[in-house]
Structure 1
Amino acid sequence: MREQAAGRPELRGDCARCFGLCCAALPFTASADFAVDKAAGTPCGHLRPDHRCGIHDRLRQEGFSGCTVYDCFGAGQRVSQVTFGGRDWRGGPPERARRMFDVFPVVRQLHELLWYLTEALALPAARPVHDDLRRALAETERLALGSPEELAALDVGAHRRTVDVLLLRASELTRAGVRGRRKDRRGADLMGARLKGADLRGVSLRGALLIAADLTGADLRGADLIGADLRDTDLTDADLTGAFFLTQPQVQAARGSAGTRLPGSLTRPAHWAPAV
């Protein structure tokens, strides 16, 4: 189901081809996720001259777990190598750095949409909307190739809302094929919920808050997880095979075990127990 999205390496972050944009462009606030405050457009103190992280191997130990769950979906290398033609924000005019930092979050959103659209096109049950999905994919690709000026002026929120209508329809068509009750828990507040062993097959959890929820042994096959907040969610022995619109950052933010079953396109986080 997810092989089509997984087969697009340009939608995966490649730090070796990026100028450390996520470490400079984005802000973060001192919290459980970040050890210090950092303003947008200010390089992180751990960013080295070669654009690599100086504490990459010990981010969690140093209090920067938020960095370990971030994924630009390949936007970093697109902005660095395509939008700005390989011109670094360091050593250039201040205007270039400012524009790169402004454009990066826009392209990141477009690349996330490309991931979802590509995955939706791999859902057999969503065939009735495949033509519309292909048109939306082509338009999103076109927008992502825009000039810095075009990207800065883009109303990415409006485009996202248009695409979300199609993704929702693809979800409805796919979940309709799941036997049993298919609850709609879109946007539900399930923080800390006790859902151990729950049958969540075909459930819509779009945008649901599942922070620190107990999903031990839960069955999430065929569930829609787009935008679900899985920070510190316990996925020990849970079955997420066939779950769709699930991304690597969501998995990185959760807790799992050797028995947690993931879609084939996603990587088991290093902080989880290794699979047996």
Structure 2
Amino acid sequence: MPGTRLELRSDCARCVGLCCVALPFARSSDFAFDKPAGAPCRHLAADLRCGIHASLRDRGMPGCTAYECFGAGQHVTQGTFRGRSWREDPELAREMFAAFPVMRHLHELLVYLTDALARPDAAAVHADLARARDEITALTDADPAQLADVDVAARRGQVGPLLERASRLVRAGRPGPGHRDADLVGARLRGADLRGADLRGAYLLGADLNGSDLRRADLLGADLRGADLRGADLSDALFVTPPQVASAHGDASTRLPRDLLPPAHW
């Protein structure tokens, strides 16, 4: 959008509580109650900020602390809808709530493409990655009706092979074990050498990764909920996202990629 800088990290101060309204969640270990899509969370305050942000985990809402919109919230609010709000103009609600999840998917793809483009070892595929990034960036500038027509699955299908090529190039110097889509729930991997491992889509729920070496490991889509990352080295792991990190257990000894901040609850 003209005058809107594309950002890939959430800024709730410039959003209108979209994740707290547009998205549904079900009562579980992540959420203390059910909420349907389009209904404001009971904890959403009048200023469209979370009323229990400082105590979400204590109040049974750890799922909220692990959520990240990758900047889609402020983009939809300030760009697509020019600063207007569903609360002030209820007629906008349907279009705004439909645009938000599409924008989040697009921003997530841009996060992965940005990661791959920053890898010198993936230079051979940089031109293709840059073209994909530019195409998706152009889609984020679409109006609400155009966003509704975006085929997110098709875009993921186009970007996926490019990320795969980038990953192989980055890991070529030291290819690690292959655990793609593997069931590693509760696995004992303390201190494991997982450098260059293919952990894409792996189920690592509750896995003991304390002190493990995950440098240059591909973690795209890996489920790290409850995993122990204390002392683990993810400093240049591929495709690590804030939701993955926030859903795991870590501390000051966990080494994260340079542009990834440790969660407040660690």
Bin for the TM-score computed over the shorter chain: over 0.9
1:150 to 146, 149, 154: 146
Structure 1 residues 1-276: aligned runs within 5 Å: 10-94=7-91, 96-178=92-174, 181-272=175-266
- Quote the Cα distance in structure 2 between the aligned partners of 1:252 and 1:47: 21
Secondary structure of the residue aligned to 1:71 is: coil
**Equivalent residues of 2:110, 2:136 under 8 A apart:** yes
- Quote the Cα distance in structure 2 between the aligned partners of 1:190 and 1:137: 32
Secondary structure of the residue aligned to 2:7 is: helix
- Quote the Cα distance in structure 2 between the aligned partners of 1:182 and 1:261: 19
Q: How many residues align?
A: 262
1:261 CA drift (Å):
1.3
Residue type of the partner of 1:170? A
Q: TM-score, normalised by structure 2?
A: 0.96
CA RMSD of aligned residues (A): 1.2
Secondary structure of the residue aligned to 1:141 is: helix
- Quote the Cα distance in structure 2 between the aligned partners of 1:271 and 1:19: 24
- Quote the Cα distance in structure 1 between the aligned partners of 2:219 and 2:38: 31
Contiguous gaps of at least 5 residues in structure 2 = none
**Equivalent residues of 2:185, 2:203 under 8 A apart:** yes
1:9 CA drift (Å):
7.3
- Quote the Cα distance in structure 1 between the aligned partners of 2:122 and 2:100: 31
Runs of 4 or more above 6 Å deviation:
none
